[in-house]
Homo-oligomer: A and B are copies of this chain.
Amino acid sequence: MGAAKETLGEEQPWAEVSPDAARRLLIAAVDAFAERGYHATTTRDIAGRAGMSPAALYIHYKTKEELLHRISRLGHDKALAILRSAADGEGTAADRLSAAVRSFVRWHAGHHTTARVVQYELDALSAEHRTEIVALRRLSDAAVREIINDGVRAGEFDVPDVPGTTLAVLSLCIDVARWFDVGGRRTPDEVGALYADLVLRMVGAAPERAQR
Contact = CB atoms under 8 A, between A and B. Distances in A.
Interface of A: 36-40, 116, 119-120, 158, 160-161, 164-165, 167-168, 171-172, 174-176, 178-179, 186, 191, 194-195, 197-198, 201-202, 204, 207, 211
Given A36-B37, A39-B40, A202 B211 contact: no
Nearest to A172: B172
A168 B202 CA distance: 12
A179 B175 CA distance: 11
A176 B168 CA distance: 9
A187 B169 CA distance: 19
Copies of this chain, tallied across the complex? 2
Given A40-B39, A194-B161, A168 B172 contact: yes
A39 B34 CA distance: 11
